[in-house]
Amino acid sequence: MKPIQKLLLGFYALLISILSLIFIAFLAGWERPAESLARLTLQDAAARWGSGVLAAALVLLGVYSLYLFIKGTGQTRKDNQVFIREGELGQVSVSLNALENVVEKAARQVEGIRDIRPYIKRTPEGIAVYLKAVVAPAISVPKMSEDLQERVQERIRGFSGITAVEIRISVENVAQEGKTAKL
């Protein structure tokens, strides 16, 4: 979601919350907010026009919020797939989620890895793999990262037949002896 969309949704949520609180106060018997609001918005033609424009803007913002909710994250099923090959009977593709699971299992087999979180992204050149790792304190990070990159690349190639164009590793934490740190 884009920042402007988040800002609009946040503003709309804040406004709905304020109006809901005023409505609850009115239902609880506190008539002053309702009287003040009515006096402010209905006192003359200009105030009624301004109130009408504000109400129309809120309706449009509400419809737009509903549209964003229905639309979801914007990632379609096709965006979540990586094309593998075209066979006689049709296309073969693998989801990014499936590839992430394969990468996670392969990465956990590398010595020194205590916890790993993969994220795979489609790029115009292919796929890019991003790994956040928690490692054992007694390992060599350069050697471990080289082993990890090789193991992940081999596993992706063996599973799907495609090659990752990039495999980035970020060591997020070092586990204490005998304990497993979490990301």
Most confident range (mean pLDDT) of 45-54, 118-127, 151-160 is 151-160
- CATH level 2 (architecture), domain 78-174: 2-Layer Sandwich (3.30)
Give the model's pLDDT for residue 182. 65
54 beta partners: none
Strands (E), the chain: 81-87, 90-95, 113-123, 126-135, 164-174
Reported as a single tens digit per residue, the pLDDT across 88-146 is 888 888 889 999 999 999 999 999 999 999 999 988 888 999 999 999 998 999 999 99
**E strand or H helix that includes residue 146:** helix 141-160
Distance CA 162, CA 160 (A): 5
**What are the extents of the domains in the chain?**
3-71, 78-174
The whole model's pTM is what?
0.57
Mean pLDDT, the chain, rounded, equals: 84
- Please report, in angstroms and rounded to a whole number, the separation of the first and last CA atoms in the chain: 24
Mean pLDDT on 6-21 = 82
